[in-house]
Structure 1
Amino acid sequence: MSSLDHEQVLIRTGTRSGLPIIVAVHSTALGQAVGGCRLWHYADWRDGLDDALRLSAAMTAKCAVAGLANGGGKTVVAVPPGIEPDPALRRAVLDDVADTITALDGAYATGPDVGTTPADMAVIGERTPHVFCKPAQHGGSGDSSPATALGTLAALRAVRRRLHGTRTLAGARLSVVGLGSVGLRLARLLADEGADLLLSDIDPAKRAASDELGATWVSPEQALTADVDIVVPAALGGVLTEEIVPRLRCAAVVGPANNQLATEAAGDLLHRRGIVWVPDYVASAGGVVNALTVELHKGTPDEARERVEAIEHTVADLLATAEHRHVTPAQAATELAQRRLTGAW
């Protein structure tokens, strides 16, 4: 059995929903643990547990590298195949999640993730104060997608400067893989910048976005292996496999999708091929930076935007450190997170 480095993991069968409710608290060394609430289908609930453990650890690193006074956590509701939560079941799930979070006595606060929305956070907030990204009318910061997209744009600027000596993305050729709430917003920001875009999604209905933005529509596999400057993963994780990486024809991979590397070996292969990979937890930090700055730390929207845009400087510093020390940007980010977690700045 592999070692468990989480502070606590709470697994319950929801008293109302009957579904597995999993909350993993990885670290509170820097402050209250935070992380999204994922409502997703799993063939086995233990697959949901694996996601919760992995994603909560990534949140610890994300907060530490971003300089936030928070640790990492995650909620996963493991929905069996074939069950689609109707409004009654969804309400039951959210109430079960709220009760589980309450049992942790403030060690962890949750926000939206795959399968949940700011409106869902308002429902959870009826039973616990330990929630963020509620709609503005409920006193929250709302949808985190715009800030996540803005933070990813900042990361892309830093990489563009590193590769080409300019932070502007005008004329850069980028391939955006996944047009969900973050991916589509990011594609629009890039189109406004004048980038040359390839767009893809598993949902063919999203093709209309390519016409709207004057972009080229391709399949997800074509998008990953296209001859572009930067590939931007913006869907679910695991796209960078040991089979795909040798076929990449880009100089860098920078995107908001979580858990982009299928294996550690895929990351090593990226480095050997000279492809810059910015860790997803660094590039995607904008949403949590904005929400926590506004909601938990009571900063102004201008202060939150400034911190989101500072991701550009964070990435630039990581790339410089990686080059100076002959390590990967991922290694540089891991070391920075560890220093902050141990107080050795």
Structure 2
Amino acid sequence: MPESKPPAALLSLQNLITGKWVAQAVSFAAKLGIADSLRDGPKGCDELARMNQMDADALYRVLRALASVGVFAEQDDRRFVLTPTAEFLRSDVPGSLRAVATMAGEDWTWRPWGDLYGSVKTGEPAFDRVFGSPAFEYLARNPIAATVFDEAMTGWSMQNAHAVAAAYDFSGIETLMDVGGGHGYLLATILEQRPALRGVLFETPEVGEGARDRLDARGLSDRCRVVSGDFFQSIPEGADACILKSVIHDWDDARATIILKHCARAVGRGGRVLLAEMIVPPGDGPHPAKLLDLEMLVMVGGRERTGDQFRELLAGAGIRLARIVPTASPMCVVEGVVEG
């Protein structure tokens, strides 16, 4: 009598449980730049191993596993070729996720998840317990990790910057300040679409240095200046609006309110404060914000928020939530207007 097949629900749960295996294998391939090595066509596993000083059989086992889930495809004689999915692990394609995949396998992003229990029990980030300091302090002390983080944030920004820039009407704004804007990918995208707009990128000194070169490479140095500082201390005046993309979700309500109050003071009454963030929807349906919310809990003590939570958060900083503008990505633009 033939054995019955496992129920689909059981197989689905098995795939979820073993997701860590896939994530680490993808990250490993990203670090080695396997997709870049295959951009011109198939290569044998022995050649890839020599290029990367790896054991050929062990590397083959990793690539075979990745091919089984659609990342790369195996041909005869242990040769591998790119698939449509693997194309986005290349470093030279629009929308590349190579930097994001690389960061996902770093020990400083991986180990805190081992203490999810502690974060749920205490409501505090596991990162601080595992590494002895908050995540952003750790990055400030570890420049290699900080570079990986900054590149990954630029990679994430590439996934939704164009959608944010296209969805929101920036008319009436002469100068837009991107607060905590990383290497300036979002601000540059907005400025390229609106030639009359001027920009200010407000970042820490370390990150701001990297942003200057990128803005210059996109021909925007004459329309955008980089200002260094700490948004917990103050934000410079001179802009009609502030935009903060994936910044407020890094912080709990108390610290987020400090940032928002400084933004409100910088743009003044009637000025706009724009938050490019995901909105947690109601119900059981899948949405990336629901899992990203756990990353915020474990890593930095921040959170993803519902529309009502954003309304309350903004009100605490003297900002009225005017509207929430959806975009073609999972991200929305939360538009706030300074009242006081």
TM-score scaled by length of structure 2: 0.38
Name the one with the larger helix percent: 2
Which is greater in Rg?
2
